[in-house]
C-alpha cells in the first residue's frame, strides 16, 4: 500500500519552498526548487507514494495546477484569505503550515479543473482590465477639473464633441496639457475595450450555455460571457446560497444568546438574527454583472414590479438588491437544468 504524502508548496516568482509530511504529521522532506516547469516536473517524478499537494491561489495557480495534476493523486488550490496567519512567518513555515492543513483537511479549495472556457476566461480578464483602466483615467480626468472647482458631473466630459468646451474652462497651460493626454489615453483605451469586447463575444458564441444565460432578463451577450467565464459551471456550487456567496449577494446575519432555560428545560429564544449586510469575500465582476442586470431589468421587463415595491415604501437600493438576488437565483436554476428562462414560471417574491 502506497503511503499518502501531504505536500505544501509556498510558491514565489523565482523559487518554491516545499514541505512533505506523512500521515502522522511528521516532516519527511523539505526542498527549495526553482519555479520552472522542468524542475517542478522532475521533483514530482522523483516522489513515491500517493501524493496530495496544495498551494495558494495566485497568478501562477492555473499554470501550476495543470503542470502538477498528471503526477499526483490530488491537487488543492487553497484560498489564502481563509488561512489564519501567525505572527511568525517564513517561506518554510508557510509551506509546512499548508502541508499540515492539507493533512487535517482544513483548507478551503478554490475551483480549478474546467478547461472548456479557458480562452473565454482570458478574453474576459483582458476586457475587465481595460475597463478598469478606463475608469481610472476617467477619474483622473475629472480630478483635473474638480481640483479647480469646476463642476463636471455626467459623461459629457468624455465625448469628443464637447471637448473644446471643456478645454476652454482650463486656464493653465500645464493643466491643459495634462487633460489632453488623459483624453488621448482614454481614447486608446476605448478602442481597445471595443476590440476586446468584440473578440470575447465572438468566442462566447461557441458555447451553448450563452443562449441559456442570455435568456434571463437584464443579462445580455456581454454579461452572459462574463458569467460563463468566471463561474464556468453551476455544478461547482451545491446550493444557490453558495452561488450567492460567490457573487457577493449572500446576506450575513449574527445571533448570540440563542438559548435560555425555561421551566427547567433548554429552549431556543425568539430572538431574531441581526442582519450584517452582504458577504465581503466575493467575485467583484460577478457582483457588478448581477447589479447591472438588476438595474436593466428594473427599467425594462420588471419595471412595474420595481415601481410597485418602491411605492410600498421599500428603498430603491433594497429593491435592486432583491432583483439582483432574484436574477442570480434564476440564472443558477436554469443553467443547472439546461433550459431557457420562462417568464410564466416567475413569481416576484423576495429571493430568500
Of all helices (H) and strands (E), which one includes residue 47? none
> Looking at the predicted structure, is the pLDDT value of residue 329 above 50?
yes
Residue-level pLDDT at 19: 97
- DSSP helix/strand/coil, 31: strand
> Looking at the predicted structure, is the pLDDT value of residue 70 above 90?
yes
Contact, 135 vs 109, CB < 8 A? Answer: no
pLDDT category at 86 given cuts 50, 70, 90 is confident
C-alpha 237/C-alpha 19 separation (Å) is 31
Mean pLDDT value across residues 282-290:
95
Mean pLDDT value across residues 292-315:
94
Tens-digit pLDDT profile for residues 32-50:
999 999 999 999 999 999 9
The listed range with the strongest mean pLDDT (138-142, 278-282, 301-305, 341-345) is 138-142
Residue-level pLDDT at 228: 96
> Looking at the predicted structure, is the pLDDT value of residue 156 above 80?
yes
> Looking at the predicted structure, is the pLDDT value of residue 258 above 90?
no
> Looking at the predicted structure, is the pLDDT value of residue 349 above 60?
no
Check residues 346 and 94 and name the one with the higher pLDDT.
94
Complete edge-to-edge strand list for the sheet that includes strand 15-21: 27-34, 15-21, 4-11, 50-56, 74-78
Strands 251-254 and 274-278, by their bridges, are: antiparallel
In percent, the amount of the chain with pLDDT more than 90 equals: 79
Residue-level pLDDT at 114: 67
What is the average pLDDT value for the chain, to the nearest integer? Answer: 91
Of all helices (H) and strands (E), which one includes residue 266? strand 265-268
Mean pLDDT value across residues 139-143:
97
Q: Which of 133, 116, 329 is nearest to 241 (CA)?
A: 329
Tens-digit pLDDT profile for residues 223-254:
999 999 999 999 999 999 999 999 999 988 77
pTM of this structure: 0.82
Tens-digit pLDDT profile for residues 99-135:
999 999 999 888 887 677 889 999 999 999 999 999 9
* Residue with cell string 469628443: 160
pLDDT category at 163 given cuts 50, 70, 90 is very high
Instruction: List % helix, strand, coil for the chain (3-state, nearest 5).
Output: 50, 15, 35
Please enumerate in sequence order all residues whose Cβ is within 8 A of that of 334, keeping only pairs 6 or more positions apart, or say none: 212, 215, 216, 340, 341
Residue-level pLDDT at 351: 44
> Looking at the predicted structure, is the pLDDT value of residue 154 above 50?
yes
Amino acid at each position: 500500500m502506497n503511503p499518502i504524502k501531504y505536500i505544501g508548496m509556498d510558491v514565489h516568482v523565482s523559487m518554491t519552498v516545499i514541505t512533505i509530511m506523512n500521515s502522522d504529521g511528521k516532516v519527511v522532506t523539505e526542498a527549495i526548487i526553482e519555479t520552472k516547469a522542468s524542475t517542478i516536473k522532475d521533483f514530482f517524478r522523483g516522489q513515491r507514494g500517493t501524493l496530495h499537494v496544495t498551494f495558494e491561489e495566485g497568478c501562477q495557480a492555473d499554470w501550476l495546477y495543470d503542470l502538477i495534476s498528471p503526477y499526483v493523486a490530488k491537487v488543492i488550490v487553497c484560498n489564502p484569505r481563509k488561512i489564519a496567519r501567525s505572527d511568525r512567518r517564513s517561506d518554510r513555515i508557510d509551506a509546512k503550515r499548508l502541508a499540515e492543513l492539507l493533512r487535517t483537511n482544513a483548507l478551503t479549495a478554490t475551483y480549478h479543473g474546467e478547461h472548456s472556457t479557458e480562452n473565454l476566461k482570458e478574453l474576459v480578464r483582458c476586457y475587465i482590465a481595460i475597463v478598469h483602466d478606463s475608469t481610472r483615467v476617467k477619474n483622473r480626468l475629472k480630478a483635473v477639473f474638480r481640483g479647480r472647482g469646476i463642476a463636471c458631473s455626467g459623461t459629457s466630459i468624455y465625448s469628443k464633441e464637447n471637448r473644446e468646451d471643456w478645454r476652454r474652462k482650463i486656464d493653465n497651460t500645464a493643466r491643459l496639457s495634462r487633460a489632453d493626454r488623459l483624453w488621448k489615453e482614454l481614447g486608446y483605451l476605448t478602442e481597445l475595450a471595443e476590440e476586446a469586447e468584440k473578440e470575447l463575444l465572438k468566442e462566447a458564441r461557441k458555447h451553448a450555455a450563452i443562449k441559456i444565460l442570455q435568456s434571463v432578463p437584464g443579462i445580455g451577450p456581454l454579461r452572459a460571457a462574463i458569467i460563463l467565464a468566471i463561474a464556468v459551471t453551476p455544478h461547482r456550487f451545491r446550493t444557490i446560497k453558495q452561488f450567492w456567496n460567490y457573487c457577493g449577494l449572500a446576506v450575513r446575519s449574527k445571533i448570540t444568546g440563542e438559548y435560555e432555560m425555561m421551566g427547567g428545560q433548554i429552549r431556543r429564544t425568539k430572538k431574531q438574527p441581526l442582519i450584517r449586510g452582504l458577504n465581503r469575500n466575493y467575485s467583484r465582476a460577478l457582483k457588478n454583472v448581477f447589479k447591472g442586470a438588476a438595474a436593466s431589468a428594473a427599467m425594462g421587463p420588471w419595471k412595474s414590479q420595481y415601481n410597485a415595491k418602491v411605492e410600498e415604501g421599500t428603498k430603491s437600493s433594497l429593491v435592486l438588491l432583491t432583483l439582483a438576488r432574484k436574477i442570480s437565483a434564476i440564472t443558477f436554476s436554469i443553467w443547472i437544468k439546461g433550459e431557457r428562462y420562462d417568464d410564466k414560471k416567475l413569481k416576484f417574491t423576495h429571493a430568500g
